[in-house]
Amino acid sequence: MQAEVRTRMLRCWRVGLLSGLALAAAPAHAFVAYVSNEKSNTVSVIDTESWTVTKTIKVGQRPRGIEFTRDGKFVMVAVGDDDTIQVIDAKTQGIVDTLPSGPDPELFTQDAAGKTLYVANENDNTVTVIDLEKRARLGDIQVGVEPEGMTISPDGRILINTSETTNMAHFIDTTSRQIVANVLVDARPRFAEFKHDASELWVSSEIGGTVSIIDPGKHEVIGKINFDIPGLRREAIQPVGIGMTKDDKTAFVALGPANRVAVVDTATRKVTKYLLVGQRVWHMAFTPDEKYLLVTNGVSNDVSVIDVAAQKVIKTIQVGELPWGITIAP
């Protein structure tokens, strides 16, 4: 026990040393967010202390899914129209490599160790498995029509893929790479997110206008979240990105052309608040300290910053055209 504490302290010390002055000088941690701009074929880099765009990186065509590698050294961005995933070095902020995805990659997820990457390829109904160290393609898994949402269970055993026209969440065993269950959800499921305690899987249905809550053990829909915004027609409510706080108590759901992010109490499964953000809100990412939640607004070309504790939008940052995905350095 004591040995473990000591090792941890030692590790912290090392990290502190490495980070050096930057850490010492900034009481509130500054983080770096990367935003993919679907239309301008760029990635905007945002500094979360000054809330400004510090750099715009030119990438391939139609960048959408974007994520940091687990070690925080690289940013992977799916450039669908170039049929590949580009790798950006977080230090030099230049493209250093590409990953062998299938055609038209959109969203992807990686295992906890950051060794295996799973990519949804919208064009050929497959999920591609990539070895991140060797940067080699390990194989494909056949799924439903237009695979999109991707996430992995906290224990790494189950990979979830949602298919937009088949309207299912596919449960894939990561060892055998076989589908073990299919759960029907509402129309056009776009995004999937586990609770951190793995007790629930949340899947947003863009056209159905709902979020399905699935019991991952029983493979059953055990609840559904509906959204009702006075004065707004139902068709405009199109849930996409989902963010869950680490204590699993609060979920944030981006509602697309409803221009709002819903705050959901996960215990009652009721919406407690709608936060007005920019136009056509897509995806979101928390800062690692969970103080802020950043959401991309596709049509208004900006990113809204939400103060998580206060549940308030505190800032808007202009980025490139049609911002879509977002990731923040761990």
Partner 1 sequence: MIRWLPGLIGLCLVGLSLAATQALAADPVTIGVGYLGIAGTRSTLSLVEQPAENDGVAGARLAIEDNNTTGKFLNQRFALEERRIKEGEDVVQAATDLAARNGFIIADLPADALLKVADALRDRGTLLFNTGAIDERLREADCRANVIHTAPTRSMLADALGQYLVWKQWKRWLLVVGSHDEDKLFADALRRTATRFGAKIVQERSFEDTGGARRTDSGVTLIQRQMPVFTQQAPAYDVLVAADESEVFGAYLPYRTWDPRPVAGSAGLVPRSWDAAQDQWGATQMQNRFMKLNSRRMTALDMQTWTAVRMIGEATSRTNSGDVKKVTDFIKGPDFSVAAFKGTKLTLRDWNLQLRQPILLVDGRMVVSVSPQEGFLHQVSELDTLGYDRPESKCKLK
Q: Which residues bind partner 1 (CB under 8 A)?
A: 104, 122-123, 125, 144-146, 163-168, 170, 179, 182, 184, 187-188, 207-209, 233, 235, 257
- For the residues of 228-239, what is the DSSP string, one character each? --TTS-GGG---
What's 3's DSSP letter? H
Smallest distance, partner 1 to C-beta of residue 144, A: 6
Residue 28, C-beta contacts closer than 8 angstroms, at least 6 positions apart? 49, 291
**What are the Cα distances from residue 178, in Å, to 121, 125, 226?**
17, 14, 32
Smallest distance, partner 1 to C-beta of residue 119, A: 15
Smallest distance, partner 1 to C-beta of residue 122, A: 5
Both structure tokens of 74: 């690289």
Smallest distance, partner 1 to C-beta of residue 289, A: 35
Instruction: Give 203's strand partners.
Output: 192, 212
d(CA 100, CA 36): 19
For partner 1, the closer CB: 141 or 244: 141
d(CA 71, CA 114): 8
For partner 1, the closer CB: 164 or 302: 164
For partner 1, the closer CB: 239 or 329: 239
CB atoms within 10 A of CB 198: 15
Report how far apart the first and last C-alpha atoms of the chain are (Å, whole number): 27
H or E element in which residue 264 lies = strand 260-265
Smallest distance, partner 1 to C-beta of residue 288, A: 32
For partner 1, the closer CB: 182 or 245: 182
Smallest distance, partner 1 to C-beta of residue 129, A: 19
For partner 1, the closer CB: 237 or 308: 237
d(CA 64, CA 81): 10
For partner 1, the closer CB: 49 or 235: 235
